[in-house]
Structure 1
């Protein structure tokens, strides 16, 4: 093991005050009212998608994020699926997204029977690049009858799905402007961004529709879960209707008026979410302190840089990331740290390289490829 890696391992173990045991990448912190609320939920017998905690969780999310409407779902992936449908994405449409993302982003596009189009990211945000998006659209798109079409494929480009990587804000305001110029709907993938702000706005409140995830490894969790955020009451009502099997309200009859989904969050998961949201300010404080210590440590270490927030944002630092010199250094670092009980992980393999997406349209992905070869996530659990 080289000296640099040894220094990093010693620092991480000191940071978490763990000498020999395994240190995970990001474990859930469940030390609030989770058990109390779960017991209340069980005692009520309302453990499925109807119950007071579902309503309470949605209201609390609206208050925290500043969004007028929150519709909680089973997970973030199906929340994106519904959000794309609400945005008007239909079979055969194209949806522009980034190649550097977790697979749920691309999978949700496929669930819509649409085609992902992969565009590059900015290196300083790891999120979809407005310049790359504009370049792709200038070269490939035409607007006819207020609809955007891909000149090369003939398909409609209906939506754009940027992602805020690791809780850091992409240039969402610039992306919104580019999309507006081409009459493209923007759906904001803020899956990793609970508690992150750009200026005074919570990530996930810039687009007409957005999604946040509460998976087990997120900054706050409901075990599995997600939420659709919107300020549009009609979209909110449609989202709730679609995620409850499109059941028409009636005291006893079973009447459904469209193809819907069994996507509503169960009350038992929402109970955990209520308890987690109560602790979110502490989670954010702890994780920002951890990030500050990492940033200071890596500033004195040559050949490795810490991925920090930009001045205009306040990140939740969900997963801390470092950037190494090259792929060889990255691969060796992963091997050494994981073999010694420090969980580290590479950034995702680019979507355009996966077998099911090989034939999807794409732009130049130089930045994405550069980051893929160098980025590693390091332990980021709340202390």
Structure 2
């Protein structure tokens, strides 16, 4: 099967050279917009393209306010602060995720609680959250508390793994019942939809990434989105060094962040956003061909769940066991076709080994079996 897969991938990407997992595609107005930005001399944190990017992303995500920031991690970090996460609080999230999800919590001096995922979405399981809160949760006048630790549970942060949306209706209901705001880690899911609505706008705030390997990139960049104008304005204030408006004085009245997206990056992002629908159509066509190929081999190619539309940012296989996974990884990478395992579970990392977890049954199952395969726009 491995030789057939390598042959199939090389044909799809029309290359006998090294084939990466995901590379950016620049076929639009990137050079034109960058030249305009350079000619304007506004290449740093202020400029027309920052404003245009924020407006365009709000339109795409159907949210009322977007704040352009330097990367997806900073978007999540500030997003958590916006919903009230404070030092020594706890945030419910998933262990099966990229490390930025957990780091954004730690940067707020808060503590992750790692709960299990659903096998179909590979994202945070509403059932796992419900079970945890029924065992450990305690509602008080000022929010939900963890009876085991005595700490306040001040947010829940699901991550839409590889662009596959989590079961949002169920998760929203559980968190509403327990007075816990949701911060969506939508770093990987730009263009994905849940019941016809774009991801990122379901929680109080959402965070996106525009890193070089994302479906839309500006080299480095991120964004906070929200339907709460007050939170959005505060997010803009905090990410621009918490500087109060004044014609010439420098007045900063609280601890802020220099997390501003440069106009130069925003110009690139604007050109990329114009191509988003085409990128998604291209990737969904590739996913259809991958599924046909792997169905013929009796291998589970992971597809979107009911009531969702996935952007198929990174496409993946589910092998039967870890030995099969490791063999595929070895054979493909040795042949110049890049594949990668899913992330190591967060509670295995030294800085998060102290964190509270549940059984992690599904997360451990997926950790041993999931492999990402080349997913670039062709």
Report the counterpart of residue 148 of structure 1 in structure 2.
144
Match of 1:349 among 344, 366, 372: 344
CA displacement at 1:141 relative to structure 2: 1.0
User: Separation in 2 of the partners of 1:148 and 1:63?
Assistant: 34
Q: Is the 8 A contact 2:168 2:194 kept in 1?
A: no
Report the counterpart of residue 370 of structure 1 in structure 2.
365
Match of 2:178 among 166, 176, 182: 182
Matched, 1:49 2:45: yes
Q: Secondary structure at the match of 2:274?
A: helix
Matches within 5 A, 1:82-231: 82-231=78-227
Report the counterpart of residue 33 of structure 1 in structure 2.
29
Matched, 1:8 2:24: no
The Cα RMSD (Å) is 0.7
CA displacement at 1:311 relative to structure 2: 2.9
Q: Is the 8 A contact 1:52 1:267 kept in 2?
A: yes
User: Separation in 2 of the partners of 1:316 and 1:56?
Assistant: 23
Aligned residues: 378
Match of 2:323 among 319, 322, 328: 328
Structure 1 unaligned residues grouped into runs of 5+: none
Q: Secondary structure at the match of 2:182?
A: strand
Q: Secondary structure at the match of 1:36?
A: helix
User: Separation in 2 of the partners of 1:173 and 1:107?
Assistant: 26
Q: Is the 8 A contact 2:101 2:185 kept in 1?
A: yes
**CA shift digits 1:8-48 (9 cap, x unpaired):** 11111111121x20011000001211111111111111111
Q: Which contiguous aligned blocks of 4+ residues in structure 1 show a shift greater than 2 angstroms?
A: none
Q: Is the 8 A contact 1:173 1:206 kept in 2?
A: no
**CA shift digits 1:288-311 (9 cap, x unpaired):** 000010011111112x21000123
User: Separation in 2 of the partners of 1:281 and 1:209?
Assistant: 23
TM (norm. structure 1) is 0.98
CA displacement at 1:249 relative to structure 2: 1.0
Report the counterpart of residue 17 of structure 1 in structure 2.
14
User: Separation in 1 of the partners of 2:140 and 2:78?
Assistant: 26
User: Separation in 1 of the partners of 2:223 and 2:11?
Assistant: 36
Matches within 5 A, 1:51-70: 51-70=47-66
User: Separation in 2 of the partners of 1:364 and 1:87?
Assistant: 28
**CA shift digits 1:106-158 (9 cap, x unpaired):** 00000000000000000000000000110111111111114111111111111
Matched, 1:339 2:329: no
